[in-house]
Structure 1
């Protein structure tokens, strides 16, 4: 049986070491793998939270209307516990204090009409009566749709929007509104004892010729499963790369053969920059 013997040079021997991943690269790769797995798990948890939120909101929206919270409960109102509750309120609209907030709806661009509703105890709650197109911005064009006297409205409790619209801040001094900021609107209109939330009136509360109610959009983006699968896929791709890098040497078969010192090539092996160990390739 013939054997092929080759002499490995110093470069060959050091090259084997150089092919191994450096320690810092190994640590970095393992850290990245752990981080990707953690991100995937976090997205799974976020998905569970989002599904619970959607279910909770659906229950609130379709529940029978309850009176809006009493003033004593106003400081405890939060989005998590109260937003989108189906509520009712009775009072008299102060049409001369209405505020128009820019809106884009399924009906097109226009304005939300926010009107204070004065209740029997003197407190006020802002009611988003609904949408009007730009050509009906002037209150004189919809006088017939402004009910006088006592009214009862039902709708969804909404949390104030103090940060303005997308890339646009409210400008109260110029009467330009891009979000339904209850406190700012109350201050601009000289209103007191105002609830820290507003009510989106439903379609059943609109009057003939008045704003179009019932246009509240309830939408919660739920892409967490896609994000989780993306993070996990990246983690497994990285794991595959690490397996190839670290496990490559496991599939190579090398046997080191030491020839007798008196062999014919011994002198060549003992001298010169290429002196080294003879390797027999299997």
Structure 2
């Protein structure tokens, strides 16, 4: 076989090998691209869900106050359907059964004051009357702010916060509370007909000298668009890398240069004892 044929065969073999991707690497890359796209689509869907949730909560918070759900419907009360509803109720506070739950608010560190409200129908509803700083933890420092008679409360319906706070569990036997766990508080305070939710009293329900109400924080992080763009960008970059690595050979042309013997560049192009056809990649 001539030198020209040998070099040409080698060029074609090299071109075919370059254009042929590694099977396992191609499968992994394609799988990763599909996964990244799926994650991006999921974040887009999550963003739509979060926007709908924010809109729904805003409507509930600013709606006129309505009576709390009747006891017969308490088992059907859910986060999706009822949390942050603007509600109203009436009864008498059981100040001797209040519970202090550690809190950090815009007013600083301190406690939420959760006090059972005894209603005329025999049920109790825990009312988060608001915030007190650490120096007012003792109930004796707040006697003037504890009404004795019947009161009317308006506020936001909130769902129970079971077990405890971040890295801290409630310890009922030592009266240490880090979350507003309705069932545990009701058991510790011997409330036999307590609602499975509590109510954050608004600022209009607070009394002079009592806890500071109306501090409910309504904040829903919504970074889903950023996450979606991140996943889609990674998928696009990986697809581009896959194309450059494995697909570039499909568009690479082989150029054959015939250098006449004795030409000006013949010596520079020699790779051995013969100066035949030289194959270059375009």
How many angstroms does 1:243 deviate by?
1.2
Question: Is the CA contact (8 Å cut-off) linking 1:162 and 1:180 kept in structure 2?
Answer: yes
1:44 aligns with 2:44: yes
| 1:6-34 deviation line (CA, Å, top 9, x unaligned) | 84499877765664421111111111111
For 1:216, the equivalent position in structure 2 comes to 216
**Contact 2:43 2:227 (8 Å CA) reproduced:** yes
Give the direction of change, closer, same or farther, for the CA distance of 1:116–1:160 in structure 2 (3 Å limit): same
Give runs of aligned pairs for residues 88-127 of structure 1, distance below 5 A. 88-127=88-127
- Residue in structure 1 matched with residue 248 of structure 2 by the alignment: 248
Q: TM-score, normalised by structure 1?
A: 0.86
Where do 1:18-37 residues align within 5 Å? Answer: 19=18, 20-37=20-37
- Cα deviation, 1:65-87, whole Å, max 9, x if unaligned, reads 00111100000000000000000
| TM-fit CA distance, 1:256 | 8.4
Q: Take 1:201 and 1:174, find their aligned partners in 2: how far apart are those partners?
A: 26
Report the equivalent of 2:260: none
- After TM superposition, the structure 1 = structure 2 runs for residues 142-157 of structure 1, keeping only pairs within 5 Å, are 142-157=142-157
Whether the 8 Å contact between 1:7 and 1:279 is mirrored in structure 2 is no
How far residue 253 of structure 1 moved from its aligned partner, in angstroms, is 1.7
* Match of residue 193 from structure 1: 193
The TM-score normalised by the length of structure 2 is: 0.86
- After TM superposition, which residue ranges in structure 1, 4 or more long, deviate above 3 angstroms? 4-20, 278-282
What does the per-residue CA deviation read over 1:201-249, in whole Å, with 9 as the maximum and x for residues that have no partner? 0000000000000000000000000000000100110111111122211
Does 197-206 or 17-26 show the bigger shift? 17-26
Maintained 8 Å contact 2:11/2:279: no
Larger displacement relative to structure 2 (20-29 or 243-252): 243-252
User: Tell me, which stretches of 5 or more residues in structure 2 are unaligned?
Assistant: 258-276
* 1:279 Cα offset (Å): 6.9
